[in-house]
Amino acid sequence: MTDSKELTLRIAGKPNEKQKEFFVSRTRFTAYGGARGGGKSWALRRKLLAMCLRYPGIRCLIVRRTYDELKANHVIPFLREYGEIISYNDSEKAIIFENGSRIFLGYCSCERDVLRYQGQEYDVIGIDEATHISEYQFSVFKACLRGIGNYPRRMYLTCNPGGIGHSWVKRLFVDRDFRANESPEDYSFIPARVFDNEVLCASDPDYVRSLESLPPKMRDAWLYGRWDVFEGQFFPEFNPDIHICAPSAIPKYSKRFVAFDYGFDMLAVLLMAIDTEGVLYCQAEHCVSGLTLSAAAGRVSELCRGFTVEYAAASPDLWNRRQDSGRSGFEIMQPVSGMPPMIPADDRRIAGWRVLREYLVGADGKPRLYISSSCEELIRCLPALLCDGARPEDASSEPHSVTHAPEALRYAVMSRIIPESRGTFDAFVFSSSKNKARSFFD
């Protein structure tokens, strides 16, 4: 009788029907989400707790965007509800069980944070608010789901529509649109609505009314959990299975040019190749922060080494004179040894994105743009680019960390003659700063 009461004390609370589905799911990746207020965080804590009690010595990880959010939403509730059977080690950032099981606490507020988890091993990973992380970050966490112990290897995700991860979560769990290396049987989705959470509806009816008063699209997403009204990915046309190529696939007989976006926070430079049919290839990249203008020019020159590079399309603001020196960025960068002739890029945003979209779509099912698998930053950033909330035809400037490489790619395609949706165009013509067509051979 004592043991029975102790067990009831350890895992208190009565799950609703959707939470029960979440608890019994055995797929490798289980997402539980939709509307806000569905009791997702409550369920995630209890699922990890049950796994730790069931499998002594298991290693779990729970992740949220920031550590402060993690403490408020999970650490404090864990200690309040189960302080008799667990302890918290702040230096180890872990919740420790008497049987040797651990729940490690992680955060991932930006792309570089996820690099701390490379090479780590966890048996179970819980990602709270998965739509707050990018697909690249998700892929790193997927690689951490491994180990040598006789434990289940599972990932549990909670999510709401919207955010930087909206598109990949929707693709995998809602649309079930799988790619070549993704097995449908590994993924399951449990939709949640606030009305499933009877406890919340009874104790805080004003919360439901506040959701009902939201603007229509936000209301449909947050109250009813609709994923089709809260899109976000700016380039849904981008498909790694189609647009990523091996470096060896780039034709040897290709003309080359570079395009770069410069800021002290990030230099993103792309080495582009163009074949005789006018198909573009992003052959190599260099993305680094904290460089002066002259140092950035040196990195551009380094990327061009060994190739005959016809020109470098760069942001037009580099031709503006700087107040501190009285010299323009162009005047500082162009004299650096190895720097190709610089031309101001056509920086029209909406027109540029449209041209880039044309290259991704191509004609007759074949794109006119391929990206080498070595260009990891561009591959990471392009699908993470979001729509601007005020101007849907423009890309959002947030998260800023993913905008630099796509901006450079926009400069690259805008330095070319705009391709038609159907038909051919001159393979060796580019646009000068005055929009006058020039041949590579002029």
Reported as a single tens digit per residue, the pLDDT across 340-364 is 999 999 999 999 999 999 999 998 8
What is the 8-class DSSP label of residue 391?
A: -
Q: Name the CA radius of gyration of the chain, rounded.
A: 25
The Cα–Cα gap between 361 and 355 comes to: 10
- Which residues, other chains included, contact 218 with Cβ-Cβ below 8 Å and sequence gap of 6+? 230
Burial class from Cβ neighbours inside 10 Å (0-12, 13-18, 19+) for residue 19 reads: buried
The Cα–Cα gap between 21 and 66 comes to: 28
Helix (H, G, I), strand (E, B) or coil at 316: helix
Task: Render the burial of 365-379: b for 16+ CB within 10 Å, e for the rest.
Answer: eebbbbbbeebebbb
Q: What is the mean pLDDT of residues 264-287?
A: 95
Max Cα distance, the chain (Å): 91
Is pLDDT at 15 greater than 90 in this prediction? no
By C-alpha distance, which of 18, 4, 102 is closest to 53?
A: 102
Where residue 5 falls among pLDDT bands split at 50, 70, 90? very low
The Cα–Cα gap between 298 and 290 comes to: 13
- Which residues, other chains included, contact 92 with Cβ-Cβ below 8 Å and sequence gap of 6+? 104
Is pLDDT at 231 greater than 60 in this prediction? no
The Cα–Cα gap between 349 and 368 comes to: 20
The Cα–Cα gap between 267 and 258 comes to: 13
Question: 120 - beta bridge partners?
Answer: none
Is pLDDT at 111 greater than 70 in this prediction? yes
Question: 187 - beta bridge partners?
Answer: 29
Which stretch of 85-89, 109-113, 190-194, 230-234 has the lowest confidence by average pLDDT? Answer: 230-234
Tokens representing 84? 């008799």
Tokens representing 197? 């959470």
pLDDT of residue 419: 42
The Cα–Cα gap between 268 and 284 comes to: 11
CA–centroid distance for 334 within its chain:
34
Class of the CATH domain delimited by 2-222: alpha beta
Name the segment(s) of the chain with CATH classification 3.30.420.280. Answer: 240-439
The Cα–Cα gap between 157 and 130 comes to: 6
- Which residues, other chains included, contact 277 with Cβ-Cβ below 8 Å and sequence gap of 6+? 424, 427
pLDDT in tens, 382-427: 887 888 878 878 998 877 878 999 999 999 999 986 444 434 444 4
Pairing relationship of beta strands 266-274 and 342-344 according to DSSP bridges: unpaired
Q: What is the mean pLDDT of residues 191-210?
A: 71
Burial class from Cβ neighbours inside 10 Å (0-12, 13-18, 19+) for residue 173 reads: buried
More confidently predicted of 409 and 71: 409
Question: 44 - beta bridge partners?
Answer: none
Class of the CATH domain delimited by 240-439: alpha beta
Global pTM reads: 0.61
Tokens representing 329? 């960025």
Element (DSSP H or E) covering residue 168? helix 166-169
Is pLDDT at 73 greater than 70 in this prediction? yes
By C-alpha distance, which of 164, 165, 162, 143 is closest to 153?
A: 143
pLDDT of residue 439: 44
Task: Render the burial of 399-432: b for 16+ CB within 10 Å, e for the rest.
Answer: bebbbbbbbbbbbbbbbbeebeeeeeeebbebbe
Average model confidence (pLDDT) across the chain: 85
By C-alpha distance, which of 159, 359, 169 is closest to 272?
A: 359
More confidently predicted of 3 and 44: 44
Name the segment(s) of the chain with CATH classification 3.40.50.300. Answer: 2-222
